[in-house]
A and B are shown apart, each in its own frame.
Chain A
Amino acid sequence: MILNKRKVRKISCEEAVKRLFVYIDNYLHGNAKDELEQHLEVCRDCFEKAKFQKQFKMRMRKLKVEVPTPVLKKRVERILEAI
């Protein structure tokens, strides 16, 4: 298959899955990325896995934020006043 006028090697599902995390973290580049994207275009199962991992990462970003107690805030203010 030709992608952007370059020949892109076909990869297996096993290879695709190994690259998924790095891909969703925007750390996959060049041929490795092209090969994975080509695979995701034709493999429904791996496409669904990639979609799930992206959604799971977004879900983690939206976890309810823990906030410090007023006690900690006061303590930090005292530290900053004392320096």
Chain B
Amino acid sequence: MLTEAERKEISSIVLPHLNRIYRFSLYLCRDRDKAEELAAESVAKACEKFKTLKDRSKVRQWLFRIVNNTFVSQYRREKFIKGFELTELSLNGKMTSPVPFRQGGISSAHPEKILINKLLDDDIKFHLRKLPEEFRSAVVLCDVEGMSYIEIAKVLEIPIGTVRSRVARGRGLLQKKLMRHAREMGFVKAVKKREKEKVCDCK
């Protein structure tokens, strides 16, 4: 049985991270209801395991590891994950509607710049959720949550080399999907596939 002081301490540590816990759960489960279940369950587990948290400065990493382990042990096995078809509604209940943009001003040498300025958040999140799970977790933790490779290795319980590889492959895949989406929406014209190894003037 916990004392009132311990209960307050747990609340003060867990509650500020609830948004992040939910966001990570959402990227894992790709379904709002399941994400809420996962988030709630992870909070319950965090309360049970509170005494295992030795370093208060690493609470985010500790919480995310609990979320990931709960997901892996329970939700993945129960196949709660729902995929999203391109034709289905996006998560916020609205169709991702393409907004036509003028194509002027887009550098034909670097059309990927369109991914920075022209795509909506919903487009990026939609395609991020479509990534295979191992790449999705790595990219979310690195690029959305801003974690270091060391932190990600601790959350996912994988070697740092594997983190590097998954982040690189996940980003590459995501950017490829977004580029294809941008072309389908007419934001950018199809460009010739550039040579893989360019002989640059710098040699």
Residues of A within 8 A of B (CB): 10, 12-14, 21-22, 25-27, 39, 42-46, 48, 52-53, 55-57, 59-61, 63-69, 71-73, 75-76, 79-81, 83
> Could you tell me if B146 and A61 are in contact, using CB atoms closer than 8 angstroms?
yes
Given A43-B202, A63-B144, 14 additional A-B pairs, CB 8 A: A12-B203, A27-B148, A27-B164, A39-B202, A42-B201, A48-B110, A56-B115, A61-B146, A64-B121, A72-B18, A72-B22, A75-B40, A79-B47, A83-B7
**4 closest pairs, A vs B, by CB?**
A60-B143, A42-B202, A68-B22, A43-B202
State which of B8-16, B72-80, B94-102 sits at the interface with chain A: B8-16
> Could you tell me if A25 and B47 are in contact, using CB atoms closer than 8 angstroms?
no
> Could you tell me if B43 and A68 are in contact, using CB atoms closer than 8 angstroms?
no
Among candidates A13, A57, A60, A76, residue contacting B200 with C-beta atoms closer than 8 Å = A13
* Complex: A13 Cα to B201 Cα, angstroms: 10
In terms of DSSP, what is the predominant structure of the interface of chain B? helix
Interface: B87 (CB within 8 A):
no
In terms of DSSP, what is the predominant structure of the interface of chain A? helix
* Complex: A68 Cα to B121 Cα, angstroms: 18
> Could you tell me if A65 and B43 are in contact, using CB atoms closer than 8 angstroms?
no
> Could you tell me if A27 and B149 are in contact, using CB atoms closer than 8 angstroms?
yes
Among candidates A61, A71, A80, residue contacting B7 with C-beta atoms closer than 8 Å = A80
> Could you tell me if A57 and B203 are in contact, using CB atoms closer than 8 angstroms?
no
> Could you tell me if B43 and A76 are in contact, using CB atoms closer than 8 angstroms?
yes
The residue on B at minimum CB distance from A62 is B121
> Could you tell me if A55 and B116 are in contact, using CB atoms closer than 8 angstroms?
yes
* Complex: A25 Cα to B10 Cα, angstroms: 32
A76-B203 CB under 8 A given contacts A25-B149, A68-B39:
no
> Could you tell me if B125 and A56 are in contact, using CB atoms closer than 8 angstroms?
no
Residues of A within 8 A of B32 (CB): 69
The residue on B at minimum CB distance from A64 is B121
